[in-house]
Structure 1
Amino acid sequence: MIRQAQADDFKGIARVHVDCIHTGYQAILPTDTIEKFTYSSREQRWENDLPKTISGGTMNFVAVDEQGKIIGFALGGTMRDPRLRIAYTGEIYGIYIHPNAQGKGIGKQLFKAVTEHLLSLHHTSIALWNFKEHHSCNFFKHLDGKEVYEKSTVIGGKELLECAYGWEFAKKENVLN
């Protein structure tokens, strides 16, 4: 089930975030960067930041399993990157699915929830950033995302290539039909 996040979801979101970073980014991010992602540090950050991501133009959605446990989350809002802002007004800030729940269509449902929220705010052009080496690039291509921009970034002394995927929607009905 997909629902809007609530302020008390911070522990579940933190768990998914940390587990995704530790399993999905080992070959991409430096080890010391990954080690900074701990449950306690992410819980503290999400407890502080979550209230800002569940109202107004920014929205955070969670996927929960049958027991009500958070197994994924996604958030989006207004485009932050000036390089993309000319062509894309909405941004998906992140989609994370717990490693044990990947490959079950949850990411697609979260993508749809965030996209529909952004479309309700009249963002008909939406983009997101992703590390070029990350396996989720195939997921975004599968969702008809077009690679629209690349940039180099340095994290923990390691140079990484990021790519932006973009979508343009004429109207709300076009989302993942």
Structure 2
Amino acid sequence: MLFTKKSLTADGFTGFRALDELEVMRIPQGPGIFALLCPAGFDPVFLTKSTAGTFKKKDPSLKCEALEAEWVPDVSLLYLGKASAGSQGNRGLRKQIQEFMDYGRGRPTVVWDARLIWQLRDALDLIIAWKELPPSELNAAEAAYHADFVATYGRLPFANLVQARTKK
């Protein structure tokens, strides 16, 4: 898979909205996978300070050199994560993406994995897409997407700092 809008659409992803135009109430509430992609012509400019909130009093900012080292050139996919139903069954894509957006606006949260997104100057221009999945398929799907990306590009997407593994 090339992890483009075309290939993700063919694989069942929908949405494809710029973050600054996202209407959270239109996002499905069920569990699934979501992806952040660069729009056409996106030029990464890294901020010295992240717009994201703190997590356990830790600053989410990385040095620009570290961000440049994580950047995967000529690839549109920047992050691929999951949104589980949670132990109470009240989470899912809408809640996870809302928390991700709140985190980028500086609110403290537990959405630490995708923190590199919020050090991009034009983060709100990024495109978000999602794919609903049954809870039983979620972990395996995330692990498979990560493994496929690593097999194709030799590393994880820019903002994925930990490779998902299939849980037993």
- Structure number with greater Rg is 1
TM-score by length of 1: 0.29
TM-score by length of 2: 0.30
Asked which structure has the greater RCO (Cα within 8 Å, sep 6+), the reply is 2
Name the structure with the higher strand share.
1
Higher helix share: 1
